[in-house]
Structure formats: C-alpha cells, structure tokens
Structure 1
C-alpha cells in the first residue's frame, strides 16, 4: 500500500524548514535595508536582528498555535516601531519601508485556517494589521504594504479552507456511493444464491430420490442376499446424501450471520495459545489498534493464526516474534520465527491441504493488500502482510 504524501508524513520537519527559510530571508532583506536596518548599525541593531530571527522561528508552531505566532511577530514589530519612534534608539536607512518581517505574511495565514475560534482569530488579525500598517504614522506606501501583508494570508486561508471542506464533502459522498453499491451487490449475490439453491434442490433431490427408490425396489426384488445388502447400502447412502443436501441448501438460502472471526483484539489469545503449547512467542504492537477497521482486523487475525499454526507444524523449538504496526493508512503484520531446533512430526506436518498461504494471499489481495511469505536470511521463516486500514464493506454502513 502506498503511504501518504511526504509533506503530510513529515509536517514538523516541513514547518521547521519553512521557519528557517523565512528567518534567513528576513535577515537578508533587513541587511540590504529593505526594512528597518540603519546605515550605521550598532550593538542594539544586531541584537534586534537576532531577536527577529527568533521571532521568525515561531513559524515552526504555526499549525498548533497560530495565535501565538501572530502575537510574537506583532510584539516584535511593535517593539521595533517604538524603538524607532518615539524612543529614537534606531534610525532606519529608509523611513518609508515597512518595519515588519516578511514572515508576517505566512503568520497571517494561520489563524483562519488552523484556529477553530473564528472570533478570536479575527480580533488577533485586526490588532496585527494595525501594528503592521502603523496608522499613527500615516504613509500611503507603508499602509498599503502592511494591508497587503496581512490580507493576502487570510484570503488564501479562507479559500483553502473552503476547498478543504468541499473535498471532504465529495470524498464522503463518494464513500457513501461506494457503500451503497456494495450493498446492492451483496443483495444481488444473496438473491442469486437463493435462486441457485432452489434449482440445486429441485434437480439434485429429484435424481437422488429416484436412486433411493430404485435401490429400495432392488432390495425387495433381489433373489440373493449379497445383492439385497448392496441395494440397502445404496439406499442408506442416498438417504444420507439427501439429508446433507438439505442442510447445505438451508445454509445457502439463509441470510449470512456475518463473520465472527475475532479482530485485532484476538491477537493476545493467539499468542497465549502458542506460548501454552511450548513455543516462545512475543507480541509487539505499535500504534493505535482502533485505526484498523474490523474487516482488516479479521484478515490480519487469519494471517497470524495461519502463521502460528505453520510454526507449530514445521518449526518445533523456534522462537516467534509478532510485530503489528497500526497507521492511519495501513496495517502491517510481521511474523518471524527463528530456525527450528527439532525435527517436525511427519504426521503433523503432513496434515492440512498445503494451500493455507495461497488462500491467505487470495484473501489479502481481495482487500487490496499484499502478503509475502518465505525463508529469512537467518534460516527461519517470515510472513508479512500489509493491509489497508479501511476498505468500504457492508459492515461500514451499520
């Protein structure tokens, strides 16, 4: 199964990289006199430049604390403004420049996109805009640039938020349509199964009944005891076949009661059973089991059950490690056993059909998963199943 996009799997690293990039960009713009940098910088200017880099670094938490980022950059901009006027501790090379870092553009994007409280976000953005525009020192250029810096981000946030909501609605609609289609297919299969059961009952029962009647007649009319005994055996077998046929047809006609195979909650029981019969088995689970749907859990349970059964049959004395990894998009089950320390029992190893792994692979591929099984480099054996965390089924609608 393919994993999610890189930027979704590594959001923290991406935010840190963005914060560093904007810090370097704002430092460069300041040093080329694009903001508040004086012609003759003193120790105070260099200290403020370092504080600016730290303030820009707050962009790393823009997803989890957007209002904090607004507060940090707003406070820095206000402090620089006050140091320039009325304190007069700094004298910018160009008075008409905006004294706010360029990072304010990205900071203004966060409140409306990541903050649930829209009222608090709007109040924070309004105060932020006032600090950036400096209306107490009116200048068309400064106020225009400040307004653009604090307006572009919120407008983009509103657009992407609306787009995200629309995509979520479309995805939900598609999943609902898929579930409905699955239900229709299940209903059609049930109806076809009932029809085939009826036809099989009518045709086969008729023929077998004729065989039973003819065998009964032969038992009565036969002259020798051997023929009568053979006819009786044939009649009894036919009656038994009719009873078994009735049971099978009843199963086919009855509605399915669902799959009662345990889900991921049954892993502990399987491991305990394996330990109880003398096979050291360790279970390691990573992530939240609730991320796996019941259907995927049952498939994984069957894989684990078959793998542990094969260890008991073919690898006596081996140690088994079971690792289960739960993620938002997939469930990965790995079963590895060390080389056996004893000889397997021929009777036990020869039991079964020998198609367990093949049937499991078909079941796993049916739910769009992948199953790999084979010898491992250490001389043992490994089984690895990678399953999607969720596949729409009829159960999903309950």
Structure 2
C-alpha cells in the first residue's frame, strides 16, 4: 500500500514503537515507586520486572492477537497480585498504588476496535478488569483507577470504530452517487445522440429521397441518352447516400437491416475506378477479409474512398499503393501515394476540407485510430487501424 499517512502504511512499526514506549514507561514508573516495587528488591522483584517488560512488549502483537495480549497482561497482573496478597512473597513500598501495568490501556483498546470475536473480547476484558480492580482487597482509589484504566480503551475503541464505519459508509455513498451521476450522464449523452441521429435521418432522408425520385423521373422522361445516363448516375449516388446515412445513424443508434453500403469486398472496385480515371493504384490484401465485421468493413471502405478521392484532387500524376491487413484483433488499412508530378489539379479547391476529420470522428466511435500526414518521399500517407469486430444492435421488429 502506497497511499495514506505513514502510520497507516507501516502498522507493524507503529505497534513496535507502542510496545517499546510502554515497556520503558511501565519499567520507569515501577522503579520510581509508582507501582508494586518493594523498598528492598530481591531476585523475585527483578524477575517480575523482567516478566512485566515481556508482558508489555506483547503490545507489538495487539493487531494480530489482541485478546491474547489482554490475557497476557491480565495473567501477569494476577500472578503479581497473588504473590503480594495473600502470598506475602513481595511487599510493595506503596501498597495503595496500581499494580497493573499502564500497558493495559492500549491493550484493552485493540480487541473491540479490530472487531474480532466481540464476545470473547468482552469476556476477557471483564476478567482483566476484576484482576486490575482487586475487589478482594477493596480500595476506592484502586478500584476507581483500575476501572478507568480498563474501560477507557474499550470506550475509545467503540467510538473510533463507529466513526470509522460512518466515514466508510459516507465514502461508499459518495462513490455510489458519483457512479450514478456518471451513468446518468452517459445515458443522457446516449439519448441525445439517438435524438440527433433521428432528426438528421428524418431531415436529410426527406431531401435526398426527393432528389432520387426526381432523378428517376428525369431518367424516364429525358429525350436523349446522355441525359438519361446522367440522371441514372444521380439517382444511384442518391441511393448510396441514403445507405450511408442509415449506416451513420446505425453507429449512433442501431445498425439497420439490409445495409447495402460496400464493405471490404468493394476495395477492388474502388481501386479499379481509380485506375480507370488515370491514377495507377495497386491493392494488396493480407489475411482473411471475413474477419472484418460489417460496420468495420464499411468504415474501412469510406477511408479508402476518401484517400483515393484526395489523391485525385491534390496529387495528379501520383501512384497509389493500398495495403490491407486482416487479423482476428484488428484491421489495418494503409494508403500511400507518391509525390505529385504536376501542379494542383482542377479539383483541388473543391470539397469542404473536412473529409478526414469526419472519418476520424467515425473511426473514434468504433475505438479505432486514424493517422494522416505527408511521407518522407513527398507523398502522403493515410493509415487507419480498426478493431476487427464491433457489435451492432439490431433494431427490434
């Protein structure tokens, strides 16, 4: 663990420091006569002083075996008390003092704070309290101080444990509220995207459908073959635009059934069209095209179409190399063209200049990447990397 204050990151060091501190404290208090130390200490007194140091040192294990630590200190206090009275083997210099070590205070804190075997903890603390209070040798001061010494730790433990659980509950509630807020924001964005997709589909489809119908009517009524051919091309372009619009709406909302937008199978046709208008184009495909899911294939088709269109606009006389790599994880499409051999083409000023930007947005929706930029030979390179499979939600009947 690397977060949090130092004492939380090093609990063992904290417990060892506690143990050393209370060993020194209890030993010092005993030697100055603040506890059970006799006026003329003998071997038994020194042995008991060592036993007390060992019992206090058990505080180093208060997180691991808290009940055992309380039992060790209680057992030492009981043995010491029995040796003093009624055993008479040891006579304290000040009989009215506390004989239990001060280490019982932090020892009594641990069992309830760490919430391990609460019933056994209460029973052990109750027995330890009786031993420390010495009710068989009643003294108001000893019984009062003894009760406070063994009760202070558990009371603090119950308070801090309740505070810890309250803070933890508040943190969990805040985290849950944050997650719910994030989910609501995601839901709102999804609903807004679906609404915009529906509005775009309704408005644009209406206008383009009118264009397609008018082009079809012109094809039927035109008096010459050239006009009929142009009308047919206009009608076919309008139909393709409608298909692409449905595909875009499908990405934003749900993929439509029967989408006839070209996929990876249309790469060869694009290359042939490019070569037919005077742009030498070479296509290389590595792997199985069936690995590309429909949405991915249609997106790759648009990338290739946009790249070839830009070559015709901005790089007259250039040669184009198209390489498509298919594998189960991703589809990589790379389109390179050499440096143009002539000046700017007649189509260089046409278009909105946003084709690649729109493609990049579409690819990011599929969690892919698009890189485009000049090459070292003066040409241009477009590289699209897409996941091989992107699931789509089919519309419900």
Q: TM-score scaled by structure 2?
A: 0.59
8 A Cα contact 2:2 2:9, kept in partner: no
| 1:44 matched to 2:39 | no
Partner of 1:243: 243
Note the C-alpha offset of 1:231.
4.7
Note the C-alpha offset of 1:4.
2.7
Partner of 2:23: 23
| 1:151 matched to 2:151 | yes
Note the C-alpha offset of 1:129.
0.5
Mapping of 1:291-310 within 5 angstroms?
none
Count matched residues.
Answer: 264
Note the C-alpha offset of 1:237.
2.9
8 A Cα contact 2:20 2:57, kept in partner: yes
Partner of 2:192: 192
Bigger shift: residues 240-249 or 70-79: 240-249
**Which string of whole-angstrom CA distances, capped at 9 and with x for unpartnered residues, describes residues 338-378 of structure 1?**
xxxxxxxx9xxx77469xxxxxxxxxxxxxxxxxxxxxxxx
| 1:164 matched to 2:164 | yes
Partner of 1:120: 120
Distance 2:68 2:246 in 1: 73
8 A Cα contact 1:59 1:107, kept in partner: yes
**Which string of whole-angstrom CA distances, capped at 9 and with x for unpartnered residues, describes residues 19-66 of structure 1?**
222112212222222111223323332222222121112112212322
Note the C-alpha offset of 1:161.
2.1
Distance of aligned partners of 1:217 and 1:108 in 2 relative to their CA distance in 1, 3 Å threshold: same
Partner of 1:91: 91
Partner of 1:135: 135
Partner SS state of residue 178, structure 1: helix
Distance 1:11 1:351 in 2: 57
Distance of aligned partners of 1:126 and 1:192 in 2 relative to their CA distance in 1, 3 Å threshold: same
8 A Cα contact 1:58 1:69, kept in partner: yes
Select the structure with the greater relative contact order (CA < 8 A; seq sep ≥ 6). Answer: 1
Mapping of 1:1-398 within 5 angstroms?
3-216=3-216, 221=222, 223=224, 225=226, 229=229, 231-254=231-254, 352=383
> Runs of 5+ in structure 1 lacking a partner?
256-307, 310-345, 355-398
Distance of aligned partners of 1:353 and 1:11 in 2 relative to their CA distance in 1, 3 Å threshold: farther
Could you list the structure 1 runs, at least 4 aligned residues long, displaced by more than 6 angstroms after superposition. none
Note the C-alpha offset of 1:232.
3.7
Distance of aligned partners of 1:202 and 1:60 in 2 relative to their CA distance in 1, 3 Å threshold: same
Distance 1:65 1:89 in 2: 32
Distance of aligned partners of 1:180 and 1:10 in 2 relative to their CA distance in 1, 3 Å threshold: same
Distance 1:175 1:42 in 2: 63
8 A Cα contact 2:197 2:249, kept in partner: yes
Distance 1:118 1:35 in 2: 31
Distance of aligned partners of 1:23 and 1:352 in 2 relative to their CA distance in 1, 3 Å threshold: farther
Larger radius of gyration: 2
**Which string of whole-angstrom CA distances, capped at 9 and with x for unpartnered residues, describes residues 223-271 of structure 1?**
464x65555444323312211211321342349xxxxxxxxxxxxxxxx
Partner SS state of residue 109, structure 1: helix
**Which string of whole-angstrom CA distances, capped at 9 and with x for unpartnered residues, describes residues 129-149 of structure 1?**
011111111222211211110
Distance 1:32 1:243 in 2: 96
> Runs of 5+ in structure 2 lacking a partner?
256-328, 331-376, 386-397
Partner SS state of residue 64, structure 1: coil
Note the C-alpha offset of 1:219.
5.0
8 A Cα contact 1:36 1:98, kept in partner: yes
